[in-house]
Each structure stands twice: as C-alpha cells, then as structure tokens.
Amino acid sequence: MTSEKKQTQVRLDGNVLEAGKAAARARRLDFNKYVERLIVEDTTGARAAGMTAAQRLIDEHGGFLDDLEEQFDAPYADPQSGAAA
C-alpha cells in the first residue's frame, strides 16, 4: 500500500523554523520527514506512550540513574578548596 504525499505550506517564526531544522539534523532526518514524524507521533498517541514509558523509567529507576551519573561525573568534579591540584 502506497500513500500519496500531499504538499502543504506552513508559516513559522524564524526561530522556530531554525530550531526545527536543527532538531531534524540531529536526528538525521530531512525537515519534511521530521515534521511528518511529529504529526504522526502526536496524532497516534505514540508520543504520549513514549513519554509515559520514560516517566515510568524515571520513577522506578531514577535513584539508580542519579547515582550512576554521579559516578560518571566524579572524575571531573572540582578539587576541594585548599587541596593541592
């Protein structure tokens, strides 16, 4: 099954457009595909399901993730005042 693509025009604030283009590049998507994906995720409930799953992960494992982050950051922590560098 193939879907027929339709062309549309959207007017965006310049800052919003640039932010969207940067987000698309970060995901290695062209801007049109990025916008299409956002609309599909929003209208199918996929985005909400993903956000719910992410929140559940944070709720259940947030303490572990915080501890892990502290361990990763420890080598880069500032030396204590008065300590020899």
Q: What is the pLDDT of residues 13-64, one digit of tens each?
A: 999 999 999 999 999 999 999 999 999 988 888 777 888 889 999 999 989 9
Q: So what's the pLDDT on residue 48?
A: 79
pTM tops 0.75: no
Q: So what's the pLDDT on residue 44?
A: 87
Q: Are 63 and 71 in contact (CB under 8 A)?
A: no
Q: Are 31 and 24 in contact (CB under 8 A)?
A: yes
Q: Are 24 and 33 in contact (CB under 8 A)?
A: yes
Q: So what's the pLDDT on residue 43?
A: 87
Give the position of tokens 């987000």.
23
Which regions of the chain does DSSP assign to beta strands (E)?
Answer: none
Q: So what's the pLDDT on residue 1?
A: 54
Dihedral angle of Cα 39, 37, 20, 25, to the nearest 10 degrees: 180
